[in-house]
Amino acid sequence: MTNLVLILPLALLLSSCSSISQFRSQAQSDVTTDIEIVDANINDYENQAESEAFEVEGTKDVYVDNNNISDDNIALDYSKKHYDFWLNYFTKKDHERFSRHLQNGHKFKQLVFHILKEHGLPTDLFYVGLIESGYNTKIKSSAGAAGPWQFMPKTARHYGLRVDSQVDERWNIYKSTHAAARYFSDLYNIFGSWELAMAAYNAGEYRIIRAIRKGRTRSYKVLVSKKMIPKETAYYVPKVAAARQLVQNEERFGFFHNSKDSVYGSAALVEVNESFSLKTLSKLSSVPISTLKEMNPDIKGDHIRVRGAYGLLVPKSQAQKISSVDLPTIRAPRAIASSSSKHKVRRGENLSVIARKYGISLSTLKKINNLRSSRIYIGQRLTLPGSSAQAVSTAQQTKTHRVSRGENLSVIAKKYGVSIIDIRKANKMRGSRIFPGQRLDIPGSSIVTYRVRSGDNLSKIAQRFNVSVDEIRRNNGLSNNIIYANQKLNIPTEG
């Protein structure tokens, strides 16, 4: 799998192709999670480790249920010659290795199926993982791709996986499959074809885009026949189809697997919001450390610095017990901020730590407290916005508007139901001159705090509150469209 390339620039490249309207034109991708824990300043980690409380909350069953989910058998259009080659290769020359892959695959099959269904994707994408890694969760390529879905570090980080010296979530089948599902959603939104989406997963989006433009077609079979895509990619789709055929008819082709339940079959996800020691957690919860390590192969050592939240997979029967563990650093659980609450700055805290503590963005915290820089001092009291487990309105917060070409203060004031004087006063303007791209604070608009639910994405949330995705991103300091379950978002609404 190649490095990620940005989705929106791809859409721009596609704009010169014929029949562009047939491409999935979702400007905002269906991407649902990112804890934004990679590439963090080490000082943030240290400060987080020194914070006053350790919380474990938000348990979630890994499986929605344990009923079998069948294959979707999506129609794939490919060269029969290539398909026959792989069918023959897997059953004869590569029989022993494919048998091992099949055994690994069955261990994780229902888990992967459930996750794909949760993201609204066809379960046949399970066979892409079988081709990528044989579901060997510890496999790593010479190019640096790792884990069952063979993510490169950059792609992994973009889709919400933590990759650093302490944790590499590419190894975690549960977390990496969620990331792969988000990636597949983006690829299908771009190409509108599962053949091309799979080809792009193998060769990279830009490589397939260039082939489409040069070949003047969006047909995978035609691109293959014209030799517009690499040979490996031309073989990729029929290779996946052949693997599907063999797994679905394994006994007929001389393959057998031993039924062995996966440790994830009765697992739960526990959100850990502070840094912790795996050994200490194991000792206090009586859950064997070997079990915790088996279920969380992404953890490299013992102590894990946490920024935002860390999803720990645990036996379902032990989830509540682990959630109530008192680690040495624990204090009384922090209450969620009310609409008029304050936070007193303590030693070792910085704005990033405080923002994450209350589930708000750094930019929102600075704006509420009229801070021009991130410098704070011990004992300082900071105002916090309202929040709760559900969407709750808070009164009269400030909203930001980016000036578009052709707009003036009169148009903007009318749009938000405020006066020109109010806008000028909020932005300390002497006159009424504005320019495209300028950001204006709009007084008198209300902000709704919304907690992201599983399956949400920015497009759905924007439609629900009748705002744009860009507005949500601006009000939450988001650099991309990635959000995660239980994240709190400030949603601007007209006052």
Q: Encode 252-271: b = buried (16+ Cβ within 10 Å), e = exposed.
A: eeebebeeeebebeebbbbb
CATH topology of domain 342-493: Membrane-bound Lytic Murein Transglycosylase D; Chain A (3.10.350)
On the 0-12 / 13-18 / 19+ scale of CB atoms within 10 A, 140 is: middle
Domain boundaries, the chain: 7-37+63-248, 342-493
Q: Which residues contact 12 (CB under 8 A, 6 or more apart)?
A: none
Q: What single letter denotes the amino acid at residue 327?
A: L
pTM for the structure as a whole: 0.57
- Kindly state the tokens that stand for 445: 């608009």
Cβ 463 vs Cβ 438: under 8 Å: no
The rounded distance, in Å, linking the Cα atoms of 39 and 338 is 31
The reported pLDDT for the residue numbered 316 is: 86
How far is the C-alpha of 68 from the C-alpha of 233, rounded, in Å? 31
Q: Taking the CA atoms of 442, 448, 451 and 457 in sequence, report the sign of the dihedral they define.
A: negative
Domain boundaries 7-37+63-248, corresponding CATH code: 1.10.530.10
The structure tokens listed for 36 are: 């934004």
Residue 163 is given by DSSP the state: B
pLDDT in tens, the chain (495 residues): 544 333 333 343 343 343 333 333 332 233 222 222 222 232 332 333 333 223 344 455 665 444 566 677 788 888 899 999 999 999 999 899 999 999 888 889 989 998 998 888 999 999 999 999 999 988 898 889 999 999 999 999 988 899 988 999 999 999 999 999 999 999 998 899 999 999 999 999 889 999 999 999 999 999 999 999 999 999 999 999 999 999 989 888 888 877 666 788 788 888 787 788 899 889 888 899 999 999 999 999 998 888 767 889 998 888 888 877 765 442 222 322 333 367 778 777 788 778 766 667 777 777 777 787 778 888 788 877 643 333 333 334 456 788 887 788 877 876 666 677 778 888 888 778 888 888 888 776 556 677 787 677 888 887 777 677 877 877 777 777 778 766 778 776 644
> What letter would DSSP give residue 229?
S
Angstrom distance (rounded) from CA 332 to CA 335: 9
Nearest to 198 by CA among 141, 130, 261, 274: 130
